[in-house]
Structure 1
Amino acid sequence: MGWVLAGLVLAAWFFYRAAKNKERSVQPTPSREFASTSSSSVVGDLSEVRAREAWIDPRINPDPRFTNGPDQRDRGLLAPSPPSRDRLSTIRNPARWIPPGETVRIGGISIDAGMFYLGGAFTGSISDRGNNCLVDPSCAIAPSGSDQSGSLLPYWPSYSNIPPVARRTYLDWLASGREDPRIGIGYVFLFFYGLERRMLVDAVKDETPALIAEVRRLLALHGENHSFRNYASKFLDVAELVKDPEISRPVLSPDLRNGYEMPLSVRLHLGRKLASATSFDGTDALLWVLSLPDTYLRTPATRCFDELAELWQMRFASRYPLGLKVNPPKTKLKIEYHAASGGFECSLDLSDSETGPLPDIAAISAPLDGLRDLLNACTDELASYSRLLGKSPEAKGTIEAAFLLPKELLTSPSVMGTAVLGNVEHLFGGRNIAGVRVGQLATALGVDTPPKGKLPSGFCNQVGAFMDKLDVGFEPDRRYGARNLDADGYVLLFKAKDGAPVDGEAPSYASAKAMVEVAALAAASDGKIEISEFESIKSDIRSVPGLGGIERARLMAYASTLLKDAPARQSAMQRLRSVKPEARDSAIRSATSAVLADGHAAPDEVKFLERLYKTLGYPVEDLYSALHRGSVVLDEPIAVTPEIRAGGVPIPAEASASKASGIRIDRARLERIKSETSAVSQLLAGIFVEDEPLSPPPAPMEATLRGDSRFEGLDAAHAELLSCLLGAGELGRDAFEDVARKLRLLPDGAIETINEWGFDKFDEPILDGEEHIVVVEHVRVELQRAGAER
């Protein structure tokens, strides 16, 4: 009985469950609102869509965020596709292109900038990605809010599947003319998808220039984004080819590198070169290396790109005088365009009408190591120049900047242009030699100098280095032992390769230089220069052993400047003391020969030679003997020794000049020297040709004797200057020059005058020093003693 009751209860329970299930099956499913105009409901809507979305096996349809290279890091997560729209509404509202100037109103926002698609769907489109650029007016738009950063956008944004707030942000951006550089890059991509479609799917060729211009504008605003720059650059490559199928050489630019592929324009140009078996010139080679994906230009190359391109051409021509021969690869150039939207692909026919299919330069790597090395070498040569421009951009075009450049670039319009070179050439006046004032040279170089005084050593060195690069030498050049240039002094320019460099510290050159200084002083001691005197100095320079042609040429130029602006007499003699005895002998002979060259010896010339002999410790009697052996006419008698006549002494036969002088001439050596320096001699043959005759020195002031017996023979001004020196003990150069100018005296001339007076009184100079002018100690003591005894 119990089992029967249990069976009845179990049966009743089954009937009850069946009735409840039937009741549930007939209840209607509540409808859900997917689109909403409220931004607050977006998150809820997306969560419901995710709950209803069917599961997709990722092995069959992988998530594109993890299959499309490095660009996924540039955008947000992929949002799910919304429910499919009513196909009837799509047919009633087909997509159309909105050109610039046509005003449309979407969700209360007026847009007249155009250049986008408007409508439900593209006719015949079966891919959601094909519609991603389409602005569908039926999609909800948030009444307010903004997502300027683009954080709400998925990896592949599509207008129909972004949140309403994002749609409003996008439409506001379109309405404002797409000018805001701060807009999220996803919105830029969404707009770019439409330009891609218009160019390559609709193929409206007459709009190509406007589409190219718009992409270039966007690239200027948003090019810092690597992903957009990569896609936009590829688009421009293809668009330029669509606009003009003719292959031409691209313009050199530091920005040729285009993502992970060489630019199409470069591949086409170099492909045609390969197909025609034509050697690459310098521009072709630079295009190739600059467009490689792994080429990264350093700062000197980008900051000084014009200079880099010019230097590259010179270095390339030197390394590859016949051009660079490159063997074409078997790989042919094929271009398939993959749209950034992922909605379409297209292929381009790249066959040349003359050569057929083009080889692909991207498949070649053999000669690239050499080109990279050449590029690095050119960059290194511009490093110091680049650092200067980085600190002082205004220095471009100055001598300071040009000093840091390779000499080949000085004619470059990007450096200094031809103006400076033309100015320097004008100074020569069609000759190889030019004697000008320092102020004229400074004006030609475009630099400012003070009206008077010594120019700084650094400035003199820079001018010298710059002139070297112009293949122009000059004297006096302090780099080779001469004094600094005087602002109002004289300079001799002469054309010579690399500026005629010499070793200014070589013993032979230093000795010859000291000889030239003394000989020039001797020739100029009477206040006028004869051409024969200068020719004598040049002859002595040619006979100095151990000198090459360049050294002799520079010494001749230096001698010419000394005859214009004589050096300080005392310093020249001091330098002569430091050379070897044989060099001093040569200097003595050269100075004597210079004086005797014109056939007579003026009293001032003889007086100078007397002091020279005394200073160097040579017997003055040797000078008188040399003067008589030279058979010169003396302007006044010189008492050598009392005349003693003795009868019965036969007159010896007249000795030859060479024997009497004690100098034996080596004719073979002389001919060898002449042959060695023939080119230099021709260059300097007219070195003494003057545009204007040398002006005689001003007449000396009438001596006004001072009552002080210590300074008898000095005029009042020089006596006052010497008295000031005695009282001070010593004066710095600047202080000495100030005192001299107040007394209306030229500083260097005053030193010479006082030292000449010293020779007359004490047989030696009494002033010494360069930076500090002092009275020689024992002379100072003697002058002070004479004053005390007065």
Structure 2
Amino acid sequence: MVLPDGMVYVGTSLPTPYGRNDPCLIDPSKPVAKVGNYAERQTTYWPSYAEVSPDARRAYLTWLASGRRDPAADVGFVFLFFYGLERRVLLDAPVDERARFELPAIAAELRGLLSAYGAASGSFRHHAHQLLEWVELAEYPPRLYEKPVPALAEAYELPLYLRLALGQTAVDGVPVPVHIALAWARMAPTVYLRTPAQRCADEFEKMFHQEYETQCGRGIQLPHNRTKLKFSYHPASSGFRGSSEVHEPKLTFGNIPDITVLTGPTKKLQAVVDAATKPLESYSRLVGRDPAFKESLEAVLQLPEPLWPLAVREVIQNLQSRMVDGVAEMTFGALLAALNAKTIFTKEKTLALARVLEASGIGFEPDVLGEAKLPKPEDPVVVFKLPAESGAIRGGSSFHVAVLTLQLASTVVGSDNETSNAKAGFLREAVRSWQHLTPGQASRLLALLRLLHQAPTSLTALKKKFEAVELPAKEAIAAFMATLVRPDGEVSPAELKTLEKVYKTLGVDPQKVFSDVHGAAAGKRLTITPAPAKDDAGLRLDPERIAALQRDTERVSALLADIFVESEQAQGPAAASTTPVGEQPEDTDAAPTSTTLLGLDEAHSSFARMLVSQREWSREDLLDIAGDLDLMLDGALEHINDAAFDAHDIPFSEGDDPVIVNPEILEKIRA
């Protein structure tokens, strides 16, 4: 049988560090069956070519001859081949120049094996990644932190590549670059990534970059701590195991520190992770329920504006292009359709939509962010372009007075179809003349006029807003409504009837309608002065200066400041519910209380993670680690042992110098 790809040991003698033949050795003297199926399990936990059956030898040789990539192969045969790679890297390369020359080819082979079998076996994935790290970092380059981060395997400890890159930043005195910090956050077992950070990986990466710069400036500055970086390799092959000890090769890196022993930098990193995750929570829940919504309007509304995908930006631009003279009228349902909405909009989503539109320079009426009643799909809405320098677009007592004035005026303007256009034009000119408004407020009021022209406010809906208003102020507002019927020079019976209803709604004597209308027609100046005990300032309304209403609304505002914020009760019971019938409340992603080992506190957990990174420790090394963590060495070892006994009924470590880590505890932690 021909094995064209090589990378195997063939012969009758290949001693291990403990004298016996290496289990990877293909011994031609051993019998081989005529057939063998490498898809069947035919090996023990630690396979050896010399000890498996002839059928298993045939299966193994067949797998080798086939190219070593068939995903159907049993992982026991993969490990048997892997033992040979371990030996070549760990035993031969340090003393054999030819073996060192082969290291790049071995690294490529390891990547190929990981691609074929890494997903099928966590144990193989762990060992293969460890060996690959050894190959790539045995002669490590300087300033590793400046290079792109390669694909790394998750493990119970931070990968050596990142530990080395982070240690180099400490030695060189440079901040941790953002791409290294992101990989650190994703790979560190002591940093907790909530569901949004994992489910929405691309969005999280963008938010992480933003938050890292905000919180850390140029980056986290790591101290040059005392614990030196070392890499202890845990061999998979039984050839590295004697009767009572394990040969564990080690790499050292000079004065480069192991920063994973520190808890302070990890806390800073966790704060960045939490801040980057928070804005993604709602988006993550929606996408988690239905991944098809990932780029839908409903999902994007939950994201910060910088994260919007191009498709959504194009939808917003299309909406802007539909505006004639900066305004577009449509139903709420048509607006949602134009924005490619796919689900029923709740109150929360409608508010989010209004915020998104405003962030894009588009105003929205009714002003749901100003607590207007939420529209139904069939209700009319008006979208409008906000001026580039719009200033405040809502708020302030004078602005609320103007809104109330237009709402009341809509009941009068709409009472006579033949003259309503002229009166609407009069109101538009009045709004444009109100100098106390910002450009954004004026644009909003003009859009509100369009909306009121289609759907005038009912007097019943307005009545509650005037319950707390003093009678003199109500009479002043009623008199202003009387001036509105005069722009066209005619007063119809329908208009007089509507005015009477307005007066009744305000609690003003309807008999005053005729005198106020005649007073307005004559250009009479109306002056109402509340009693001094109520208010020291008088209120004047001059029908001849209606176009400069701001002079009067400034005075009216003192009396009406507390009535223009619509209460939840005024919006009705339907608006109080934000979850439509049949839709379940969104789930939450709660962070666990700890990412520590064995229920230990952060310092002892960090110490325990360092301990399991190699089998044997000198007391001197452990004193450095304990010092970095502000722990007393003997007390820390005893505390960790107690926790191990409580959790698994086995000790964590034994001995005083050296300190030997119990191999069983490592298997428990990996499990």
TM over 0.5: yes
Contact 1:118 1:136 in 2 (8 A): yes
Q: Which residue of 2 aligns with 1:629?
A: 519
Percent identity of paired positions between Structure 1 and Structure 2: 29
After TM superposition, give the deviation of residue 331 of structure 1 in Å: 2.8
Q: Which residue of 1 aligns with 2:453?
A: 566
SS in structure 2 of the partner of residue 333 of structure 1: strand
Structure 2 residue aligned with 1:360, among 252, 258, 269? Answer: 258
Contact 1:471 1:498 in 2 (8 A): no
Q: Which residue of 1 aligns with 2:611?
A: none
C-alpha distance in structure 1 between counterparts of 2:454 and 2:89, whole Å: 79
After superposition, residues 167-566 of structure 1 pair within 5 angstroms as 167-199=57-89, 201-202=92-93, 208=103, 210-220=105-115, 221-241=117-137, 245=141, 247-248=144-145, 256=152, 258-295=154-191, 297-321=193-217, 323-335=219-231, 337=233, 339-341=235-237, 342-343=239-240, 348=251, 350=253, 357-376=255-274, 378-379=276-277, 382-403=280-301, 405=302, 407-408=303-304, 410-412=305-307, 416-421=308-313, 423-424=315-316, 434-438=326-330, 441-442=335-336, 445-447=339-341, 458=345, 462-469=349-356, 471-472=358-359, 473-478=363-368, 480-482=371-373, 484=375, 489-493=380-384, 515-523=405-413, 525=416, 526-529=419-422, 532-536=426-430, 557=444, 560-564=447-451, 566=453
Contact 2:478 2:503 in 1 (8 A): no
1:225 partner amino acid: S
2:407 partner amino acid: E
Asked which structure has the greater CA Rg, the reply is 1
1:533 partner amino acid: L
C-alpha distance in structure 2 between counterparts of 1:140 and 1:170, whole Å: 13
Q: Which residue of 2 aligns with 1:72?
A: none
After TM superposition, give the deviation of residue 266 of structure 1 in Å: 0.6
After TM superposition, give the deviation of residue 512 of structure 1 in Å: 6.9
Aligned-residue Cα RMSD (Å) equals 4.8
User: Deviations along 1:140-198, whole A, 9 cap, x unmatched?
Assistant: 1133455755454253x332233323212212322333344454433221111223344
Q: Which residue of 2 aligns with 1:578?
A: 464
User: Deviations along 1:52-109, whole A, 9 cap, x unmatched?
Assistant: xxxxxxxxxxxxxxxxxxxxxxxxxxxxxxxxxxxxxxxxxxxxxxxxxxxxx1xxxx
The more displaced of 519-528 and 244-253 is: 244-253
1:491 partner amino acid: V
Contact 1:145 1:165 in 2 (8 A): yes
C-alpha distance in structure 1 between counterparts of 2:347 and 2:189, whole Å: 46
After superposition, residues 57-136 of structure 1 pair within 5 angstroms as 105=1, 110-121=2-13, 131-136=22-27
Confirm whether residue 664 of structure 1 aligns to residue 552 of structure 2.
no
Contact 1:411 1:418 in 2 (8 A): no
Q: Relative to structure 1, is the Cα distance of residues 595 and 239 closer, same or farther in structure 2, using a 3 angstrom cutoff?
A: farther
Structure number with greater CO (CA < 8 Å, separation at least 6) is: 2
Q: With structure 1 as the length reference, what TM-score do the two structures score?
A: 0.54
C-alpha distance in structure 2 between counterparts of 1:126 and 1:483, whole Å: 78
Contact 2:32 2:57 in 1 (8 A): yes
User: Deviations along 1:607-645, whole A, 9 cap, x unmatched?
Assistant: 435423245435666344334433479xxxxxxxxxxxx
C-alpha distance in structure 2 between counterparts of 1:614 and 1:420, whole Å: 47
C-alpha distance in structure 1 between counterparts of 2:9 and 2:29, whole Å: 14
Q: Which residue of 2 aligns with 1:782?
A: none
SS in structure 2 of the partner of residue 492 of structure 1: strand
Q: Relative to structure 1, is the Cα distance of residues 147 and 282 closer, same or farther in structure 2, using a 3 angstrom cutoff?
A: closer
C-alpha distance in structure 2 between counterparts of 1:334 and 1:507, whole Å: 68
The more displaced of 317-326 and 273-282 is: 317-326
C-alpha distance in structure 2 between counterparts of 1:448 and 1:264, whole Å: 46
1:216 partner amino acid: R
Q: Relative to structure 1, is the Cα distance of residues 261 and 620 closer, same or farther in structure 2, using a 3 angstrom cutoff?
A: closer
After TM superposition, give the deviation of residue 287 of structure 1 in Å: 2.9
Q: Relative to structure 1, is the Cα distance of residues 623 and 145 closer, same or farther in structure 2, using a 3 angstrom cutoff?
A: same
Contact 2:197 2:277 in 1 (8 A): yes
C-alpha distance in structure 2 between counterparts of 1:178 and 1:467, whole Å: 58
After TM superposition, give the deviation of residue 494 of structure 1 in Å: 5.5
Contact 1:303 1:386 in 2 (8 A): yes
Q: With structure 2 as the length reference, what TM-score do the two structures score?
A: 0.62
Q: Which residue of 2 aligns with 1:20?
A: none
SS in structure 2 of the partner of residue 326 of structure 1: coil
SS in structure 2 of the partner of residue 578 of structure 1: helix
SS in structure 2 of the partner of residue 334 of structure 1: strand
Q: Which residue of 2 aligns with 1:611?
A: 498
1:566 partner amino acid: H
Contact 1:134 1:194 in 2 (8 A): yes
After TM superposition, give the deviation of residue 277 of structure 1 in Å: 1.5
Q: Which residue of 1 aligns with 2:244?
A: none
After TM superposition, give the deviation of residue 373 of structure 1 in Å: 4.9
C-alpha distance in structure 1 between counterparts of 2:145 and 2:297, whole Å: 38
C-alpha distance in structure 2 between counterparts of 1:141 and 1:528, whole Å: 100
User: Deviations along 1:309-356, whole A, 9 cap, x unmatched?
Assistant: 2233333333334532322212333345554335586665746xxxxx
User: Deviations along 1:180-219, whole A, 9 cap, x unmatched?
Assistant: 4454433221111223344563565675555334323332
After TM superposition, give the deviation of residue 573 of structure 1 in Å: 1.9
Q: Please, which runs of 5 or more residues in structure 2 have no aligned partner?
A: 241-246, 531-537, 543-548, 558-671
Contact 1:424 1:441 in 2 (8 A): no
C-alpha distance in structure 1 between counterparts of 2:329 and 2:20, whole Å: 78
Q: Please, which runs of 5 or more residues in structure 1 have no aligned partner?
A: 1-104, 352-356, 450-455, 543-548, 634-654, 678-790
Q: Relative to structure 1, is the Cα distance of residues 242 and 426 closer, same or farther in structure 2, using a 3 angstrom cutoff?
A: farther
After superposition, residues 588-603 of structure 1 pair within 5 angstroms as 588-596=478-486, 599-603=487-491
After superposition, residues 117-156 of structure 1 pair within 5 angstroms as 117-121=9-13, 131-144=22-35, 146=37, 148=39, 150=41, 152-155=43-46
